[in-house]
Amino acid sequence: MSKKDEFLTTLKAALSVFAQDQWKQFATEALRDTEVFIIESKDDLIRWHQALQSKQLSKKDFEWLIASKKDEVSLLALKELGLAKVAQDRFINGMLDLVVNTAFKTLL
Partner 1 sequence: MTKVIINKSWIKLSAIILTLLLLGCTSIAPFNQIAYEKATSVKARSMLLMSKATQPYTTHKDEIAILLLEAQQGYEYAKGRPKNQQSSAQWAIILSPQRHSLGGFLHKWKLEKTLSSFYIQEAQKLIGRHFDYISSLESGKINKP
C-alpha–C-alpha distance, residues 51 and 41, integer Å:
15
**Residue 59 interacts with partner 1 (CB under 8 A)?**
no
Nearer to partner 1 among residue 24 and residue 79 (C-beta) = 79
Residue 1, burial from CB neighbour count under 10 angstroms (0-12, 13-18, 19+): exposed
Q: Considering the complex, what minimum distance in angstroms separates the CB of residue 85 from partner 1?
A: 4
Nearest to 51 by CA among 62, 65, 66: 62
**Residue 23 interacts with partner 1 (CB under 8 A)?**
no
**Residue 31 interacts with partner 1 (CB under 8 A)?**
no
DSSP letter for 57, please.
S
Contact residues for partner 1, defined by CB under 8 A? 40, 44, 47-48, 51, 56-58, 61, 64-65, 67-72, 74-76, 78-79, 81-83, 85-86, 88-90, 92-93, 96-97, 99-100, 103-104, 107-108
